[in-house]
């Protein structure tokens, strides 16, 4: 079977691979010498994220809704990957809508992404004896603790399964249950990365994500809108650090259980907005609007486990990460649909 073959290059499947984090993951895995099958349906992602990868012979994009069963062997464009003989060695499951402003619009898609799509990914892992990772999220812990304490992986958290955003929050918890159940029943190798709030270039604009909107509005001297008040605090990890943590977790020799991937530095969001204003030389003001359902204050990660077991910690400092995001926005201003000055 494929897992016993001496492979020059792994076949790796990334669902949600055209998304913000997924596109960086595909890029990094290609740099590591793998062949990448990127699957996405563009519900909240965009083709421009992967345009630069499409000419790479080790990369293939398939537009597909992963809530439907996926058989990679029926796609002629994947013929060069020799999946029938080599199989698939790793699966990163990231497919899930993540749009703060369109959260209500995509509730059913979110529900199915955290159930049917997870099942389909796990069934492929069983079929090919592949190692599989679930891109979980900090929402599995529930709301931020009152004393701003950090969440350790062994903490259970608390989520209202009937809340307006339960399709995402409870959905991510159910997805972890599915992963663990498949591991127990089928003996597949599973990994669970609990990813905390992430930022960087390629985040969708004007979607309520705030940081990319801060940058575009600051460059155009428009108000920077925080969906909350002056007390809104968050931790943010740069996207390349998050991807590095996921790859290290997938590469771990043993299953170490869920691992927090995020920054343990807590900061007021107003300070981030002010820093962007300063870095862009903007005349923008900071304003506040009612909170968005999907954009709320989240818990903080304890990352001791990632440091000890994976040798991972965030390396990109805030100013460096913001500068990269600002430079990217300026360089792509003709593509993102706004006017400087």
3-state SS, 288-321, equals EECCCCCCCCECEECCHHHHHHHCCCCCCCHHHH
Do the bridges between strand 233-234 and strand 267-268 make them parallel or antiparallel, or are there none, so unpaired?
antiparallel
Domain ranges in the chain with CATH number 3.40.50.720: 10-198+236-261
Residue 2 has what pLDDT? 44
Q: Is 24 a residue of the active site?
A: no
Q: In this structure, which topology does domain 10-198+236-261 adopt according to CATH?
A: Rossmann fold (3.40.50)
How much is the pTM? 0.93
Domain ranges in the chain with CATH number 3.90.25.10: 200-234+265-295+317-333
pLDDT tens-place string over residues 137-177? 999 998 887 777 899 999 988 888 998 889 999 999 999 99
Distance, in Å, from the CA atom of 272 to the CA atom of 296, rounded to the nearest integer, reads: 16
Q: In this structure, which topology does domain 200-234+265-295+317-333 adopt according to CATH?
A: UDP-galactose 4-epimerase; domain 1 (3.90.25)
Residue 340 has what pLDDT? 41
Distance, in Å, from the CA atom of 84 to the CA atom of 72, rounded to the nearest integer, reads: 9
Residue 298 has what pLDDT? 79
Residue 334 has what pLDDT? 56
Residue 290 has what pLDDT? 87
Q: Which residue stretches of the chain have pLDDT < 70?
A: 1-7, 293-296, 333-341
For 234, the enclosing helix (H) or strand (E) is strand 233-234
Catalytic residue among 141, 168, 227, 238: 168
Residue 60 has what pLDDT? 98
Alpha helices in 54-133 (DSSP H): 83-86, 107-113, 116-128
CA angle (24 as vertex; 240, 278 as ends), nearest 5? 50
Residue 158 has what pLDDT? 83
Place of tokens 């984090």: 21
Residue 293 has what pLDDT? 66
Residue 100 has what pLDDT? 79
Residue 183 has what pLDDT? 98
Residue 1 has what pLDDT? 40
Residues 217, 160 contacting (CB under 8 angstroms) = no
CA 265 to chain centre: 19
């Amino acid at each position: 079977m494929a897992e016993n073959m001496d492979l020059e290059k792994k076949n790796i499947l990334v669902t949600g691979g055209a998304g913000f984090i997924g596109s960086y993951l595909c890029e990094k895995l290609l740099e590591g010498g793998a062949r990448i099958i990127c699957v996405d349906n563009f519900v909240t992602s965009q083709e421009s994220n992967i345009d630069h990868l499409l000419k790479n012979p080790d990369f293939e994009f398939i537009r597909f809704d992963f809530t439907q069963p996926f058989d990679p062997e029926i796609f002629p464009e994947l013929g060069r990957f020799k999946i029938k003989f080599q199989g698939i060695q790793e699966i990163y499951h990231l497919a899930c809508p993540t749009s703060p402003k369109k959260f209500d619009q995509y509730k059913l898609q979110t529900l199915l992404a955290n159930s049917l799509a997870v099942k389909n990914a796990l069934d492929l892992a069983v079929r090919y004896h592949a190692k599989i990772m679930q891109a979980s999220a900090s929402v599995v812990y529930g709301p931020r603790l009152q004393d701003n304490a950090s969440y350790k992986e062994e903490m259970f958290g608390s989520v209202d399964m009937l809340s307006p955003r339960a399709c995402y929050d409870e959905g991510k918890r159910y997805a972890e249950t599915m992963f663990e159940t498949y591991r127990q029943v089928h003996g597949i190798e599973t990994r669970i990365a609990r990813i905390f709030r992430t930022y960087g270039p390629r985040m969708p604009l004007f979607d309520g994500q705030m940081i990319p909107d801060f940058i575009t509005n600051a460059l155009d001297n428009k108000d920077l809108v925080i969906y909350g008040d002056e007390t809104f605090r968050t931790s943010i990890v740069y996207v390349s650090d998050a991807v590095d943590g996921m790859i290290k977790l997938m590469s771990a020799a043993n299953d170490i259980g869920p691992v927090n991937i995020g920054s343990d530095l807590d900061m007021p969001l107003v300070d981030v907005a002010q820093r962007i204003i300063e870095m862009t030389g903007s005349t923008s003001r900071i304003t506040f609007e009612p909170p968005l359902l999907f954009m709320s204050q989240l818990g903080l990660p304890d990352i001791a486990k990632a440091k000890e077991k994976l040798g991972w910690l965030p390396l990109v400092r805030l100013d460096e990460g913001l500068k990269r995001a600002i430079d990217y926005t300026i360089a792509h201003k003709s593509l993102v649909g706004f006017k400087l000055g």
